[in-house]
Structure 1
């Protein structure tokens, strides 16, 4: 039985894939004159923008990140909480499960892109890209979470949707749960695989 639930954000709590990729595609095309098919940009899902942009040959990170975030607003109507997730988080919090997030978003991005959905009140421990030197797939973000939550590895599970999440969890010695509702790689090896968010609950009670 687990006592700590750690969640990724994009692709796990909220469906933001289209907004993330389309805003990046727009920025690259409009500001840098480079066209990419959306499939070519899938690798950015799950890692910080500061790590993704250099792989696209973009090195003015602060300026590019600001533009990318501004274009996200053009696609905000495509972002939403995955069905059933709010009830799951509310129930976990009600039952005093330690809950929180490990995300590749910066604190500023979390405020603008995630906080408006009203889920923060159920998530008590937060690790953003600003909080660690190394990022997913390195173990540091999950290890930082365990530290601030005073949680142990054996009773914790990290739930995410990408290989970066899987590698981060494994490197930190924490079980990994694959969120199939948001994952594009269902064949990933995981301690648990969930088709729906409510399938998480039996692991805690």
Structure 2
């Protein structure tokens, strides 16, 4: 689903996670390929909800605030949907 959306939209990650945790949560699932910009805890001195990391991401994407839509937890929602589908398949004996 994310890869299909990536054909039409630009994606980035702004997270207070460190690189090791980002690799576990995102890179290991192959989702990093869809991310044009990644801003992690070491990239800024302040973290969400402070706007500093979001503003850095926008700067790296060369966007102004009028060209941005911020969606929190998109990856977590996607993964939750995938987990629910897997549970349903397991319950029905299909894997």
- Say yes or no: TM over 0.5: yes
Which residue of 2 is the match for residue 136 of structure 1?
48
Which residue of 2 is the match for residue 152 of structure 1?
64
Deviations 1:52-85 (A, max 9, x none): xxxxxxxxxxxxxxxxxxxxxxxxxxxxxxxxxx
Answer yes or no: is 1:90 the counterpart of 2:7: no
- The normalised TM-score by structure 1 is 0.35
Number of equivalenced pairs: 77
1:127 touches 1:144 (CA, 8 Å); kept in 2?
Answer: yes
Higher strand share: 1
Task: Name the larger-Rg structure.
Answer: 1
Name structure 1 gaps, 5 residues minimum: 1-86, 162-178, 183-195, 197-205
What is the aligned-residue RMSD (CA, Å)?
2.0
CA shift, 1:138, in A, is 0.5
Name structure 2 gaps, 5 residues minimum: 82-95
* Superposed counterparts of 1:121-132, under 5 Å: 121-132=33-44
Question: What is the rounded CA distance, in whole Å, between the counterparts of 2:15 and 2:45 in structure 1?
Answer: 13
CA shift, 1:99, in A, is 1.1
1:98 touches 1:149 (CA, 8 Å); kept in 2?
Answer: no
- The normalised TM-score by structure 2 is 0.70
CA shift, 1:137, in A, is 1.0
What SS does structure 2 have at the residue aligned with 1:160? coil
CA shift, 1:124, in A, is 1.2
Deviations 1:90-125 (A, max 9, x none): 123212x22111111111211123211111111111
Which stretches of structure 1, 4 residues or longer, exceed 2 Å deviation after superposition? none
